[in-house]
Structure 1
Amino acid sequence: MPDPSAPLTDVTPADATVAAFDTLGLDYERAFRDLPALDSAVERLDATLPRGAAVLDVGSGTGRPVAERLTAAGHRVTGIDVSPRMVEIAREQVPGATFEVADVRTWASPAASWDAVCAYFSVLTMPRPELDATLARITAWLVPGGRLSLATVPVDADGLDVPFLGQPVRAYSYDAETFVDRVRATGLVVDGHEVSTFRPDFPGATPEPHLFLEAHR
């Protein structure tokens, strides 16, 4: 039987995503700094964890607010991001956490090694087969009872070119109901989910739907 925690092979190159987020840098943090649903998700996650929990932040960006808040709460946070510029900023801003330049699809981690995994808007550029396999990997990485806190943009499109804060990004996703079903298909128990709307603080940005989901193993 294949190991669900094993790195994926033949993945779609992340070159466009890397270029977009290298260019955005701190503009990304500024655009999403006042996102109430994210603040609430991080608070709920922290409330479920014992102090000193091992937390993996997938697509950690600039380190703020997620890694910064969880580190301040006493957790051991490791962030991974495909953008070298984002990792550079995160290391400067959140020295209490560890950050690596890595793609979650090919990054290696032992099974049952994380108390929690955060994945806020970091799976949106993965084609559906890679998204499903990545959700299965994350599930395998969680300890029994481990928590997943995830956010994405729910759209019923498997490959859609969208302008994201002025940068071209190819997005892949499911509608909200199907996305929740795909998480359940990994064996996780979905504790709750909600869809809200947020307009990034960026010139020309338009309101976008956000799906926030919490689950446990």
Structure 2
Amino acid sequence: MTDEQRRPQAAAAFDALGAEYEKAFAGSHPHRRSLEWLLGRLAPGSRVLDVGSGTGRPTAETLAGAGHDVLGVDISPVMVDLATRQVPAATFRCADIRDVPLADASFDAVCVYFSLLQLDRREQADLVRRLVRVLKPEGYLVLATVPLDVEGVDATFMGQPVRVTSFSAQDLTTVAEEAGLEVLAQEASLFTPAHPDARPEPHLFLHCRRRTAIAPGV
């Protein structure tokens, strides 16, 4: 599947889900704890990038509500429209994050909550490396995913067809470390989205800090 085919498929799935996605995941206590972890480390008025910002809730809303400068990027026009209306204190862009120009060392923190699963493994690793570069030295990156050893699997997510690729927990930790991150804390849990077509799914949250120096070529 080409990039041009994958992007519309990912956008279409989340366009169809819209606000239902927010409702389905609103009960995720590990996500809330993850945001609390980040908030406890950010200086006032920090600049934060929210990759795959969805409806803006809870991530952008929580961070902007705490006074931080939040830029959310999502490939779904429906999600971006919802987020713009629901979280006016943040800024949102409808785009593929890989196409958005981002200056090195321009963000204090980056959030990546379940937004890599539609990319293949090489693309995921490449994107994590790029996101580390846009972090200021010792900036924070929170990465959450469904830690399964699967690649290019056609699946149904809340009634929508998706193609999923992921890493095992250990392999994702390796991806993070090789990108220039230090994993400070992690939480694994099993969560069932509040949706009739949802099934229990493992979740992994990695709480990371960019190392001061990144090896050349990373």
User: TM-score, length-normalised on structure 2?
Assistant: 0.93
Amino acid at match of 1:153: V
Is the CA contact (8 Å cut-off) linking 2:10 and 2:118 kept in structure 1? yes
Q: Are the equivalent residues in 1 in contact too, given 2:185–2:206 (CA < 8 A)?
A: yes
In angstroms, what is the RMSD of aligned CA positions? 1.0
The residue correspondences of 1:32-71 to structure 2 (distance < 5 A) are 32-71=25-64
> SS of 1:14's equivalent?
helix
Moved segments of 4+, more than 2 Å: 10-13
Q: How does 1:174-193 map to 2 (within 5 A)?
A: 174-193=167-186
Task: Tell whether 2:106 aligns with 1:101.
Answer: no
Task: Give me the identity figure in percent.
Answer: 47
- Cα deviation for residue 160 of structure 1 reads 1.0
Deviation at 1:171?
0.6
Q: Offset at 1:11?
A: 4.0
Segments of structure 2 that go 5 or more residues without pairing to the other structure are: 211-218
Do the aligned partners of 1:54 and 1:116 also contact (CA within 8 Å) in 2? yes
What secondary structure sits across from 1:105 in the alignment? helix
Q: Match of 2:102, SS? A: coil
Contact 1:105 1:130 in 2 (8 A): no
Decide whether the 8 Å contact of 1:11 with 1:105 is kept in 2. Answer: no
Q: CA deviation at 1:193?
A: 1.4
- Equivalent pair of 2:157/2:197 in contact (CA under 8 Å): no
Partner Cα distance (1:102, 1:149) in 2: 20
Asked whether the 8 Å contact 1:20–1:168 carries over to 2, the reply is yes
Q: Work out the CA distance in 2 between the residues paired with 1:151 and 1:27.
A: 20
- Does the CA-based 8 Å contact 1:54-1:75 persist in structure 2? yes
> Which consecutive unaligned segments of at least 5 residues does structure 1 have?
1-9
Measured in 1, the distance between the counterparts of 2:18 and 2:197 equals 18
What is the TM-score with the length of structure 1 in the denominator?
0.94
Aligned with 2:40: secondary structure?
helix
SS in 2 for 1:90: helix
Aligned to 2:66: 73
1:151 is the counterpart of 2:173: no
Partner SS for 2:44: coil
Deviation at 1:194, TM superposition (A): 2.1
